[in-house]
Amino acid sequence: MKALVAEGGAMRGVFAAGVLDTFIDMEYKPFDFVIGVSAGASNLIGYLSDYPHRSINVITQLATSRRFFDWARFMKGGDLIDVKWLFEESNRLYPVDPEKLFDGIPFLAATTNIATGKADYYRIDRNNFHHAIEATTALPIAYKQTPCFSGGCYTDGGVADSIPVREAYRRGAREITVILSQPLNYSKKSLQTPWLMRKLFAEYPNMAEAMLQRSENYNESLEFIRQPPKGTVIRVIAPPDDFRVQRLTMRKSVLLEGYEMGLEEGRTHLRNLSGEHGLTRENCHFCL
């Protein structure tokens, strides 16, 4: 089985938006299922519904607006980012074809269960679309709401599983394409203030522990990518070292630069797979 995994990373997801627009342009959809986390899941909406430029428009036209991102609102006790508004406004301005989105390639989103601190993975359908996307993008602390549905309450999937490549493997995928939102030389550092996490999430101790273990889980996923099980091929598309987009970058020029990098890396990836550079599906492990 073939799977596509899209990492989150808030505004850093603009890179994946570019990669996936290249895939749309080249009609590249060989996957048996896809898994997205946070911004990665949002980007997959446009990809699966064959809607080029949807993600970059959402990022540059909506996610940079004060209605979505507002420090003053946050300082007064409100949301720093309003993911519910972003989801609803995105669907109002850029509606998708429900048959393509829900009846085509199976689409899963990773969420973090606040009671257990573990990842729950939801197959996106017409009934849970709103709740699951809100949950997977609900950055802790920055988004004050706690989406609850299907018997649980959730926050950003990136807390428990930022790069669900191991989940893709567990579900039977043996040829996995991973779109990262950080350069290949990145590794996540441990939090230096565990006491603060435990205080902030005192009501949900398992969430606090998930936050503290996030860097370890992230780096273990990277190691899994570098050393996959026998019989498994993992291909990675990652931003170049000069990728300047940060989690909360709002400058449109920087975001568009990151998007162009995604377009180019997507083209390079497909050229590699076609053997244009002497690389083929058989010898292109971990190629960009």
Residue type, 92: R
**Neighbouring C-beta atoms of residue 67, cutoff 10 Å:** 12
Q: Tokens for 207, please give them.
A: 């969430």
- Fill in the DSSP letter of residue 174: S
CA distance 248 to 110: 21
Catalytic residue among 21, 82, 156, 161: 156
CA distance 101 to 85: 20
Q: Tokens for 113, please give them.
A: 């269960």
Residue 162 annotated to the active site: no
Residue 38 annotated to the active site: yes
- Fill in the DSSP letter of residue 229: P
CA distance 117 to 152: 11
Residues 6+ positions from 75 with CB-CB distance below 8 Å:
none
Short-list 166, 158, 248, CA closest to 210: 158
Q: Which residues pair with 6 in a beta bridge?
A: 36, 179
Catalogue the E-assigned strands of 21-174. Answer: 33-37, 107-113, 119-123, 148-149, 152-156
Place of tokens 């993600």: 55
Catalogue the E-assigned strands of the chain. Answer: 2-6, 33-37, 107-113, 119-123, 148-149, 152-156, 175-179, 233-237
Catalytic residue among 38, 49, 55, 162: 38
Whether the CB-CB separation of 5 and 225 falls below 8 Å is answered with no
Residues with catalytic function:
38, 156
